[in-house]
Structure 1
Amino acid sequence: MVVNAAVDAAVFFLLLGAAVLGVTAADVGTSADAVDEGADRPDAVAAVLATSTATVNYSLAPGARRANGFEKGVRFERTAGPEFERTTRGSFAGLLARVAVGTAGFDGAPVTNARDGLRAAVRGAVRSELSTVGLRIDAVWRPYPDAPVEGRVAVGGAPPEGEAVDAATLTVPTGAEPLSPRETRDFASLSDAVANRTVDVLAPAGRMRLALRDDAPVSTFARYRYARLAAELGVSATDTADAVGDADTRTANRRFASTLAPRVESDLRGRYDSPEAAAAAVSVSEVRIVVRAWNGDGGDDVTDGGRTTEDGR
């Protein structure tokens, strides 16, 4: 079953942690109590993820402490206190999507660890709602297959090797606009579009502008995110210092996207015969949630960086 999800304006509120995400799906109304071990279990679980909601509490403090552990970069004067505590509410699918995007990074390294607490809280909330015996849920965001940047969160152990597995899929929009025909006419245009959307998912210009103008620790997290993006993309911090200092996030984002675009173009040209085929594989505008179920138990939870047989595609 594929549930085409619809959320309100944003997939996640990157720094303030107060947005409410809603995922809706047609003709679903399954409660967690109604989920059984039958062949339709993945569909029933997907319906629960799309329609049931949860409130989770988490802290940004671990991310601040991790940031201060790096030799270079922005420093947090304080790494604990009530200003670091967050509460957010949303559908389970929306919350999983928010974690997948909020913990994304390059080549397996997250841009920041500010959402580590949210990931743990959301995984715990899903386990409280659904039995993970014989069940695996993977939420994955990546701009295109095998992209250098991705985010993922997994709940439940992997199915035993050789076990028959049933699956269902739902998607949650990231807020990035779908590709337009004029952006898919050639590899260069497509790569520019994908790079711009990727950067804007990682650092939404409007929200980051507000965050940079806010008080600490929100503004510090925003500056740190931009510093980490510069480091991961190989952009000199001095190239974006004025833009970040002036909260000119659109200029900073364009600088990052222009650096990322050649890598995207090289990837897409190497994997696809035409811009049209490459555009069909682009998934920057959605988080894909795959539910798999089987008879019996599975192994222990794997790390979110581990690949799965579905691999989020």
Structure 2
Amino acid sequence: MTSTVLDGVLCLLLISGAVVTVTTATPREATGEGRAPDVSSTLATTTTSVNYTLEPTTGDGARVSVDRTAHGTLAELLARAAVGRITVDGRRLSHARDGLGAAVASAVRGAIQENHTRVTAVWRPYPGPSIKGHVAVGARPPPDVPVHAATMTVSSGFPTRRDETRDAARARGIEGVADVVAEGFVEGLFPPTRTRVAAGGARPVSAVIRHRYRQATERFGVGRSTRLASGGVDDTNERLAAAVSDRVARDLGATNASARAVSERVGLGRVRITVRTWP
């Protein structure tokens, strides 16, 4: 794995594991139409590396480029690409990682029969989310054919916080669940120690971090700190988490479900991958 502090900070914590942990060499030929479980197995057990470029825009409008390499199973890389395409109310949080999504999609196409197959990776951190991530490879199945499906769950890189979520639901209801989800979301995006180190480092890396902060704080209506290398990270993270919590509480309230019910459906730490195949 060649990703270092930068990828740990950009959401983007490196994916730590999949449901299936056995790995094999990348197959020489693409998997045929087959059954959905066969394609799912290929995604879970085929390892590869993809190269991509982070291209954020700095505060003065200039563009910087940082070359990265990601390694893992195809399922892990799909999960990482989904989290890298976070949207808020349908609008992308950042386009800096578009290269990762394209590289992962190309790798998946090389390992499966894209025709007659669609693979989707979806990150839904809580029920009814306005904050989510999604990536898809392959065309949608025709409406008049039988479709077979298989699913797996892969780590998103964000903290799971399952026990904390349940405790918060009992103690403080929907607002408590929202606080836990928001804190985990911000911690996953901007781990304090590593963010401070990266923000105070060389310009390409610091520019990426500041770009991420600028996009997040603007999208959630939070005034950003200009001194991220000092105490600004903790302060900005706290204000960002408060704003995110308000949004999450609003989304959860709209589901009309109980705090206990929504706490059981919090999925901050996982990405769901679905494979659909048809004749």
Find the counterpart in structure 2 of residue 144 from structure 1. Answer: 126
Shift of 1:107: 1.7
Secondary structure at 1:147's aligned position in 2? Answer: coil
Does 2:177 correspond to 1:182?
A: no
* Cα deviation digits, residues 16-45 of structure 1 (max 9, x gap): 99958553517897975584434xx21111
2:114 to 99, 123, 132: 132
Q: Supply the RMSD in Å over aligned alpha carbons.
A: 2.8
2: CA distance between counterparts of 1:108 and 1:260? Answer: 15
In the superposition, the TM-score normalised over structure 1's length comes to 0.76
2: CA distance between counterparts of 1:95 and 1:24? Answer: 13
Shift of 1:214: 2.1
1:252 to 230, 236, 247: 236
The verdict on how the C-alpha distance between 1:125 and 1:96 changes in structure 2, with shifts beyond 3 A counting, is same
1:23 to 4, 7, 18: 18
* Cα deviation digits, residues 119-147 of structure 1 (max 9, x gap): 11110111111111110011111212331
Shift of 1:213: 2.5
Q: How does 1:155-304 map to 2 (within 5 A)?
A: 155-174=137-156, 175-180=158-163, 181-185=166-170, 186-237=173-224, 240-242=225-227, 244-246=228-230, 248-295=232-279
2: CA distance between counterparts of 1:203 and 1:110? Answer: 17
Secondary structure at 2:226's aligned position in 1? Answer: helix
8 Å contact kept, 1:135–1:293: yes
2:60 to 75, 79, 90: 75
Shift of 1:215: 0.7
Match for 1:145: what amino acid? Answer: P
The verdict on how the C-alpha distance between 1:27 and 1:256 changes in structure 2, with shifts beyond 3 A counting, is closer
Find the counterpart in structure 2 of residue 45 from structure 1. Answer: 39
Secondary structure at 1:131's aligned position in 2? Answer: coil
The verdict on how the C-alpha distance between 1:199 and 1:163 changes in structure 2, with shifts beyond 3 A counting, is farther
* Cα deviation digits, residues 44-71 of structure 1 (max 9, x gap): 11111111111111122xx33xx25xxx
1:110 to 84, 88, 92: 92
In the superposition, the TM-score normalised over structure 2's length comes to 0.85
Find the counterpart in structure 1 of residue 74 from structure 2. Answer: 92
Secondary structure at 1:241's aligned position in 2? Answer: coil
1: CA distance between counterparts of 2:84 and 2:191? Answer: 11
2: CA distance between counterparts of 1:31 and 1:183? Answer: 44
Superposition misfits of 4+ residues, deviation over 6 angstroms: 26-31
Identity value in percent: 35
Find the counterpart in structure 2 of residue 13 from structure 1. Answer: 8
Match for 1:264: what amino acid? Answer: V
* Cα deviation digits, residues 235-294 of structure 1 (max 9, x gap): 122xx334x241653432221111121221122122133111111221111111111111
1: CA distance between counterparts of 2:50 and 2:22? Answer: 27
8 Å contact kept, 1:16–1:218: no
